[in-house]
Amino acid sequence: MDTIIIIIIILSILISIYQIPSIKGFVGEKLVSIILKSFIKDSGYLFNDYLFDMNNNSCQIDHILLTKKGIFIVETKNYSGVIYGYENSQKFYQYLNNGKIKNEFYSPLKQNETHINKIKKILNNNINVYGIVCFIKNNFKNKDIKNIVSIFTLKKYIKSFKNDCLTIDELNEYNDILLNNNESNFINNLKHIKRVKNKKNNINKLICPVCGANLILKKGNYGNFYGCQNYPNCLFTLKKE
């Protein structure tokens, strides 16, 4: 049996035993990092828990994989229950206890899109950067969204990208740039938490948490929403409640 599969099974058992959110999150991200490491044996780089500063806001990305096939930004979600959401939705929904409990959370696709835009600004706006959302427990029910995968289909999905688009020299260059912008050693957890709270306060004041411009009420195909005044340079949006 594949060593990776064995590790996944063992860690999955740990997930089922320990339901503490912090432990579940750690184990989920560890599972994904083990799979992603298999793509950097010959060439490429992997960043886990990448933290960087932009416009006085700290931003955390679960995983950044640099390969000849392109750059993959992977968001890991280790939620219980049943998860529903749509590609253009601002929110996803979690159903627990046979649907008796319903929780909502910000779309991981939108979160992933924001991370992609920031990484492209750091590196090069013309490079291929792909977003992936991995639900560890394979409990996302809308199967038509290709870049939402489970822990068991993550490797297959990345392998589906056949053509090389980056050279080894480019990979080395982008790795150096990301290393220089990695703030993990400079931004401590308390500071990061404080910035997250400030971000929420800005949103409540209709101030864009990404660039600091005003959020303007707009009409869209899926209802009213707030969009950044700096669009298209800033793509942040917020659904109107």
Interval 48-91: pLDDT, tens: 989 877 666 667 899 999 999 999 999 999 888 999 999 988 88
Tokens representing 31 are 């599972």
Highest mean pLDDT range out of 28-32, 129-133, 180-184?
129-133
pLDDT tens across 124-136, in order? 878 889 999 999 8
Check residues 24 and 158 and name the one with the higher pLDDT.
Answer: 158
User: Residue 91 sits in which domain range?
Assistant: 24-185
Find, among 61, 62, 107, 60, the residue nearest to 83 by Cα. Answer: 107
Contact between 235 and 109 under an 8 Å Cβ cutoff? The reply is no
The secondary structure of residue 95, as a DSSP letter, is E
Residue 1 maps to a domain: no
Residue 134 maps to a domain: yes
Residue 115 maps to a domain: yes
Residue 116 maps to a domain: yes
Instruction: Quote the pLDDT of residue 22.
Output: 46
* The total number of structural domains that make up the chain: 1
Find, among 144, 110, 116, the residue nearest to 130 by Cα. Answer: 116
CA distance 82 to 186: 37
Q: What is the mean pLDDT of residues 121-149?
A: 89
Instruction: Quote the pLDDT of residue 172.
Output: 93
Instruction: Quote the pLDDT of residue 199.
Output: 64
Assess whether pLDDT exceeds 50 at residue 20: no
CA distance 29 to 48: 8
Q: Reduced to 3 states, what is the DSSP secondary structure of residue 99?
A: coil
Residue 174 maps to a domain: yes
Burial state string for 156-167 with b = 16 or more CB within 10 A and e = fewer than 16: ebbeeeeeeebe
Instruction: Quote the pLDDT of residue 47.
Output: 93
Residue 14 maps to a domain: no
Instruction: Quote the pLDDT of residue 1.
Output: 45
Check residues 43 and 175 and name the one with the higher pLDDT.
Answer: 175
